């Protein structure tokens, strides 16, 4: 039986994880985040497609592609979370469960990070729990998909 696919999408600068600003984002790299997601997905019997881009248009295209292939989207939109109505529109159009993740607690940071357009399309939002946020999001998404199937 084919495993349900969850798309895990990462936005701009997340490829810099572990290379700069360890006080805010920790020392783990994006490869470490992917490994955590792969391990958790195996335990949850789901498949993941893990990606990162610095390009807003590419992120929108990836969200649109999810319509035909994914059962849910986990997204850390990076700074586009705070600026992009276009990404919000893509997430609303795709009509899939969305969980938004931020590694840092955006509410303890600058006020311009306190608002996220992406949150308007999200079933749930996880922030401030570091890489664990991705694992929690996968767990929650697996439950949402199972509820949907019943
Ligand atoms: O906390 C998060 O996960 C963020 O989405 C990370 C974004 C930031 O713009 C959001 O407000 C919150 C930044 C992506 C990571 O940027 C880095 C830059 C330099 C070094 C390491 C990471």
Protein residue whose Cα sits closest to atom 9 of ligand 1: 79
Number of structural domains (the chain) is: 1
Residues with active-site annotation = 25, 102
68: its two tokens = 């035909």
Domain limits for position 99 = 5-149
**For residue 67, what is the domain's CATH number?**
3.40.50.9100
For the purposes of burial, counting CB atoms within 10 Å of the CB of 29, is it exposed (0-12), middle (13-18) or buried (19 or more)? Answer: middle
* Stretch 31-57: mean pLDDT: 98
- DSSP code for 53: -
26: its two tokens = 């920790």
- Which pLDDT tens digit goes with each residue over 103-123? 999 999 999 999 999 999 999
Which pLDDT score is estimated for 20?
A: 83
Residue 64 has pLDDT above 90, yes or no: yes
Which pLDDT score is estimated for 103?
A: 97
71 Cβ inside 6 Å of ligand 1: no
Residue 150 has pLDDT above 90, yes or no: no
Q: Report the alpha-carbon angle 23-79-120, nearest 5.
A: 120
7 Cβ inside 6 Å of ligand 1: no
76 Cβ inside 6 Å of ligand 1: yes
| pLDDT > 90: percent of the chain | 91
Protein residue whose Cα sits closest to atom 6 of ligand 1: 78
119 Cβ inside 6 Å of ligand 1: no
The residues with which 72 forms a beta bridge, in sequence order, are: 6
């Amino acid at each position: 039986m084919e495993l349900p696919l969850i798309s895990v999408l990462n936005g701009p600068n997340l490829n810099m994880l572990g290379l700069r600003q360890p006080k805010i984002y920790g020392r783990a790299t994006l490869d470490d985040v992917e490994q955590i997601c792969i391990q958790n997905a195996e335990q949850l019997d789901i498949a993941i497609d893990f990606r990162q881009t610095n390009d807003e248009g590419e992120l929108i295209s990836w969200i649109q592609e999810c319509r035909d292939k994914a059962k849910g989207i986990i997204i850390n939109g990076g700074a586009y979370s705070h600026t992009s109505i276009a990404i919000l529109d893509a997430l609303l159009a795709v009509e899939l469960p969305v969980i938004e993740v931020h590694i840092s607690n955006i509410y303890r940071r600058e006020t311009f990070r306190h608002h996220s357009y992406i949150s308007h399309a999200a079933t749930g939002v996880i922030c401030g729990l570091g890489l664990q946020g991705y694992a929690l999001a996968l767990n929650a998404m697996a439950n949402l998909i199972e509820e949907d199937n019943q």
